[in-house]
């Protein structure tokens, strides 16, 4: 099969990781719509071609993904020695050389697998908890006992979890490292993903005071807050007003009752819609999704269903009415609208949940590691006796002072939050001088460190003339093209010896804990 350059690089990066002697679990980050199942299929075909008889187990969590990944392989390789083990699909083929399985079905039968898997590929790897007593972890532990040299590969668009942070860092990390990360902006620039735009919604659900269960908003409290007052009707009115010309909408609700409240409001505006929940029978859910595909249903209002494994490329509007503390859920939701389709110019994201402000751009989300935000509980000062008490108390336990009730939980949105790093408004600063150095790092190709001196501040930027990955090479060539370097050198040493134009000014933006150089202005006409 013909792969896109970044898909080829993703597979090659995994081979390089193994050739360097690494056997720990590896992670490939592939944004929604980048062709993750294609990468998986070609990797499986190459393994069987180069090492015939290698047994491979592909694990995921829902039957839709099991079938989708299986069909992708069969489409590319009709004679693949592949089978399925999934109760939901009514197939239990334990002895296929390449086996696609749902972890819910295979966990009690993994000891019967023959041959024992030598490679395990986990689709949607962010769904693996770190706890040892979960289905995924128990299954992987058993498989390692059966085959001590087991290689594990994870694929995901969101390499982090709400309960434990990044998948490849911290204690008991699930993966050793990310071997390849396909950048969202590159896929948009090269036409593989749809651009996304955002408009400030008329209202947003105010989550102030909503309690948490674990690290996520308490589901019951969140739904009650989302349904308060006229919030839903205002949001739907705004949605309908902004959606002119949009053909397929996905709406994310805070709960089942909230979903039907949204549905009723959409019906009042004559928008053909349907509610989809996890409690529905599969056949009923499939009928509604089919209606959405063919256009008889314009809006699907869903509750915890359409975040993964859902593929309707013509979706051109995402409405977020479910606040979430999970950066993964936020990114996955927006990803439902980022596939390209004929006649689709972009996808409009309407955020009535405050998620973009809460998490940041989808290609630079704020990820909390385990332990972050778990220190001193929120507190407030009593204005009468000045005692420091818990923030949630209505009455002071020392003097009896009554605090005023919370304000109405509807908040006008005045600011549009960027959905991509490239949409963040940068700060431009004048450049006094530029220094360049060869930057060396053990085990890595040399790079070039540029230091822009701007008044009292110095801003650093790294570029990679000796880039081995498609991702780094793409950004290096783009950097040179913008600077006017017609023939980019291929080593760091050569690069600092050529005459590189110095920009008159640079734009800088916050990027996590650091300040990143976003653009350079060379004063060209």
Listed residue (150, 182, 155) closest to 9, CA to CA: 182
Residues 6+ apart with CB under 8 A from 211: 217, 218, 221
Determine how β-strand 82-86 pairs with β-strand 98-102.
parallel
* Residue 391: other Cβ atoms inside 10 A: 11
Largest CA distance in the chain: 79
Q: Is 340 helix (H, G, I), strand (E, B) or coil?
A: coil
d(CA 291, CA 222): 30
Q: What is the pLDDT along the chain (525 residues), one digit of tens a residue?
A: 788 988 999 999 999 999 888 888 999 998 888 888 899 999 999 999 999 999 999 988 888 889 989 999 999 899 999 999 888 888 888 889 999 988 888 878 888 887 888 999 999 888 887 776 777 888 888 888 888 888 999 999 888 887 777 888 877 788 888 889 888 888 998 899 999 988 767 888 989 889 988 888 999 999 999 999 999 999 999 999 999 889 999 999 999 999 999 999 999 999 999 999 888 888 898 899 999 999 999 999 999 887 666 789 999 999 999 999 888 888 889 999 999 999 999 999 999 998 888 888 887 777 766 654 443 344 555 666 545 455 556 666 555 667 776 543 434 444 566 777 777 777 888 999 999 999 888 778 888 999 999 887 888 898 888 877 666 777 888 899 888 888 888 899 999 888 888 999 998 887 666 678 888 998 863
d(CA 347, CA 197): 6
Quick check: bond before 279 cis, omega within 30? no
| String of DSSP letters for 181-243 | E--HHHHHHTTSS--EEEEE-S-EE--TT--EETTEEPHHHHHHHHTSTTHHHHHHHHHHHH-
Q: Are 176 and 385 in contact (CB under 8 A)?
A: no
DSSP 109: T
| String of DSSP letters for 406-468 | PPPSEE---SPPPSSGGGS--EEEE--EEEEEEE--TTS--EEEEEEEETTEEEEEEE-TT--
Contacts 24+ apart (CB under 8 A), 482-486: 482/520, 482/522, 483/520, 483/522, 484/522, 484/524
The CATH architecture of the domain made up of 5-182 is: 3-Layer(aba) Sandwich (3.40)
Predicted local confidence at residue 406, as pLDDT: 53
d(CA 408, CA 270): 29
Predicted local confidence at residue 255, as pLDDT: 93
Predicted local confidence at residue 124, as pLDDT: 87
And the tokens for 492? 């760091």
Predicted local confidence at residue 80, as pLDDT: 93
d(CA 122, CA 57): 8
Predicted local confidence at residue 393, as pLDDT: 61
List residues bridging with 273 in a β-sheet. 299
Q: Is 275 helix (H, G, I), strand (E, B) or coil?
A: strand
d(CA 151, CA 120): 6
Which segments of 313-354 does DSSP mark as H helices, in order?
A: 327-335
The CATH architecture of the domain made up of 196-369+410-421 is: 3-Layer(aba) Sandwich (3.40)
d(CA 277, CA 265): 18
And the tokens for 104? 């819910």
Structural domain boundaries in the chain = 5-182, 196-369+410-421, 425-521
DSSP 121: E
Predicted local confidence at residue 370, as pLDDT: 61
* Residue 410: other Cβ atoms inside 10 A: 16
Across the chain, how many H-helices and E-strands are there?
14, 28
Helix (H) / strand (E) containing 373: none
Q: Are 121 and 58 in contact (CB under 8 A)?
A: yes
């Amino acid at each position: 099969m013909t792969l896109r350059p970044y898909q080829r690089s993703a597979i090659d990066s995994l081979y390089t990781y193994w050739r360097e002697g690494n056997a720990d679990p590896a992670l490939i980050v592939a944004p929604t719509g980048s062709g993750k199942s294609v990468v998986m299929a070609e990797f499986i075909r190459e393994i069987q071609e180069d090492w015939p008889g290698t047994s491979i187990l592909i694990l995921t969590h829902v039957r839709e993904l099991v079938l989708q990944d299986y069909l992708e392989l069969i489409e590319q390789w009709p004679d693949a020695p592949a089978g399925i083990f999934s109760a939901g699909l009514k197939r239990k083929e334990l002895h296929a050389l390449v086996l696609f399985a749902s972890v819910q079905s295979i966990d009690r039968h993994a000891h019967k697998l023959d041959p024992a898997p030598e490679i395990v590929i986990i689709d949607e790897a962010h769904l693996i908890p770190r706890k040892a007593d979960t289905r995924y972890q128990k299954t992987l532990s058993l498989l390692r006992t059966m085959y001590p040299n087991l290689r594990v590969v994870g694929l995901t668009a969101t390499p982090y979890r709400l309960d434990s942070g990044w998948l490849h860092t911290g204690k008991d990390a699930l993966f050793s490292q990310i071997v390849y990360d396909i950048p969202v902006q590159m896929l948009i620039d090269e036409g593989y993903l749809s651009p996304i735009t955002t408009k400030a919604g008329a209202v947003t659900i105010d989550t102030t005071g909503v309690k948490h269960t674990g690290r996520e908003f308490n589901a019951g409290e969140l739904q009650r807050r989302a349904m308060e007052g006229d919030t839903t009707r205002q949001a739907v009115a705004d949605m309908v007003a902004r959606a002119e010309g949009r053909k397929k909408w996905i709406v994310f609700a805070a709960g089942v009752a909230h979903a039907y409240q949204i549905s009723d409001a959409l019906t009042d505006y004559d928008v053909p819609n349907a509610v989809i929940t996890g409690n529905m029978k599969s056949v009923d859910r499939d009928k509604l999704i089919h209606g959405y595909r063919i256009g008889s249903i314009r809006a699907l209002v869903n509750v915890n269903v359409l975040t993964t494994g859902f593929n309707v490329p013509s979706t051109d509007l995402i409405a977020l009415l479910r606040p979430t503390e999970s950066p993964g859920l936020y990114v996955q939701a927006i990803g439902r609208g980022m596939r390209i389709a004929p006649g689709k110019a972009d996808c409009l994201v309407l955020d009535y949940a405050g998620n973009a402000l809460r998490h940041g751009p989808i290609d630079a989300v704020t990820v909390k590691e385990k332990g972050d935000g778990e220190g001193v509980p929120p507190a407030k000062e009593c204005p009468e006796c000045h005692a420091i008490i818990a923030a949630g108390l209505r009455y002071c336990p020392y003097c009896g002072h009554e605090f005023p009730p919370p304000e109405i939980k509807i908040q006008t949105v005045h600011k549009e939050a960027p959905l991509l790093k490239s949409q963040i408004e940068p700060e431009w600063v004048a450049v006094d001088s530029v220094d360049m150095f060869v930057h060396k790092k053990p085990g890595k190709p040399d790079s070039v460190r540029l230091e822009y001196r701007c008044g009292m501040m110095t801003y650093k930027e790294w570029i990679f003339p000796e880039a081995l990955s498609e991702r780094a090479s793409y950004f290096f060539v783009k950097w040179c093209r913008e600077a006017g370097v017609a023939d980019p050198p291929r080593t760091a040493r050569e690069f600092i010896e050529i005459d590189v134009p110095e920009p008159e000014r640079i734009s800088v933006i916050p990027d996590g804990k650091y300040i990143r150089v976003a653009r350079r202005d060379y004063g060209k006409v």
